Amino acid sequence: MRRRLFLTAPLAVAAPPAPAVETEIVRLKLRNTWTTVMSSSDYRETIHLRLRRDGLTGTGEGAPIVRYKESAATAKKAIEGVAGYLASADLRQYDKVLATAFGRIPGEYAAKAAIDIAVLDWASQRMGVPLYRLFGLDPGAAPVTTFSIGIDDPAATKRKVLEAAPFPVLKIKVGLDSDEATIEAVRSVTRKPLRVDANEGWKSREEALRKIQWLESQGVELIEQPLPAGREDDIRWLRGKVRMPIFADEACLRASDIPKLAEAYDGINIKLDKSGGVLEAYRMIQIAKALGLKVMLGCMISSSVTITAAAHLSPLADYADLDGNLLIANDPYRGVTVKDGKLMLPSSPGLGLKRL
């Protein structure tokens, strides 16, 4: 009898309810091998977070990188340490919730970014507004984004520049002995405005001066992080000798870094993965503007989750470099799109993401 009952029992069992806090390490495959002064990679791992409460799902992502001594595994562990708190806190009070959660996590800013993005996605969905509305922003004021060209040989650089035809402004990675050859390859196929990023690659201020003066003759608009972080005296010296605006990236992680940079640099590149999310990035934008610095919103290699979150703040930025999702072949989400280079923000509540 017992056996008979077992055999006739329905095979389907109800799936267990999805956990309130779910983390996942996602391997993003790059369309082209991505090379900068720092590293060369065919894929990058980011940490994804889904926060389920009251029938709504907030989605977050963070891109931990070796430069800041973070990894997807350490980010996952950090989020799991506050999962119980996030599952029970009143997420509508997102400012307090994030401050409390972050107080329990030393370092791990990519993990913090994933938490901040998921909580703000959830809270703005709960309020029924797109995230940019929480900050009172005009989506029509979102800027043009650059499209980034990683370091490569001249033939591959030319091919990539031609493939980037829909983008009106390009960001070119430099920082090696091959810089002149790279820029000459770019200039052999396009006259577009260029922004250049040396990623701390030049070693002396004299080398940086020589290269920037040459770049000025090549129609380059601005230079990012020509010398290693912490060399503000050299940047100040350099700035007295060149016309091109100099932006801090690796030298500027969070709001507390900005005051010491204000006398040296012309602008800062803000990334959610460095700041620990949207709230700190907003704080950084306000402080930078108060100190007379220009603001660029940038990104790591990420899916549309992080890029869309950053894009919601982009109406506040002077420059955008939000193309990390365009450099990967397996984006799990669709969010912000790009039309003739301009960022087009989704108008549905929250980040406005669609899982593909």
Which chain residues interact with Mg ion by CB under 5 A? Answer: 197, 224, 249
The one-character DSSP state at 350 is B
Residues whose CB falls within 8 Å of the CB of residue 283, separated by 6 or more in sequence, listed in order: 255
Backbone angles phi, psi at 89, to 5 degrees: -70, 160
Provide the minimum distance between the beta carbon of 171 and Mg ion in the complex, in angstroms, as a whole number.
8
Residue 269: closest CA among 297, 236, 238, 228: 297
Provide the minimum distance between the beta carbon of 14 and Mg ion in the complex, in angstroms, as a whole number.
49
The one-character DSSP state at 316 is G
- Of the pair 267, 346, the CB lying nearest Mg ion is at 267
Q: 10 Å Cβ neighbour count for 162? A: 10
- Of the pair 252, 278, the CB lying nearest Mg ion is at 252
| In the block, residue with structure tokens 């790009």 | 338
Provide the minimum distance between the beta carbon of 20 and Mg ion in the complex, in angstroms, as a whole number.
36
- Of the pair 121, 280, the CB lying nearest Mg ion is at 280
Provide the minimum distance between the beta carbon of 302 and Mg ion in the complex, in angstroms, as a whole number.
14
Two tokens, residue 72: 């997807």
By the 10 Å C-beta count (0-12 exposed, 13-18 middle, 19+ buried), 354 is classed as: exposed
Provide the minimum distance between the beta carbon of 224 and Mg ion in the complex, in angstroms, as a whole number.
5
- Of the pair 294, 334, the CB lying nearest Mg ion is at 294
Q: 10 Å Cβ neighbour count for 314? A: 25
Provide the minimum distance between the beta carbon of 350 and Mg ion in the complex, in angstroms, as a whole number.
28
- Of the pair 197, 234, the CB lying nearest Mg ion is at 197
Backbone angles phi, psi at 155, to 5 degrees: -65, -45
Q: How far is CA 72 from CA 47, 314, 332, in A?
A: 6, 26, 17
Provide the minimum distance between the beta carbon of 249 and Mg ion in the complex, in angstroms, as a whole number.
4
- Of the pair 67, 77, the CB lying nearest Mg ion is at 67
Provide the minimum distance between the beta carbon of 199 and Mg ion in the complex, in angstroms, as a whole number.
6
Q: How far is CA 234 from CA 37, 114, 196, 206, 287, in A?
A: 20, 35, 19, 9, 23
Pair 253, 94: CB distance under 8 Å: no
Q: 10 Å Cβ neighbour count for 129? A: 15
- Whole-angstrom Cα distance, residue 205 to residue 262? 19
Two tokens, residue 250: 């690796």
- Of the pair 195, 205, the CB lying nearest Mg ion is at 195
Provide the minimum distance between the beta carbon of 134 and Mg ion in the complex, in angstroms, as a whole number.
27
- CB closest to Mg ion, residue no: 249
H-helix or E-strand containing 180? helix 179-187
Distance of alpha carbon 242 from the chain centroid: 28
- Of the pair 49, 208, the CB lying nearest Mg ion is at 208
- Of the pair 120, 320, the CB lying nearest Mg ion is at 320
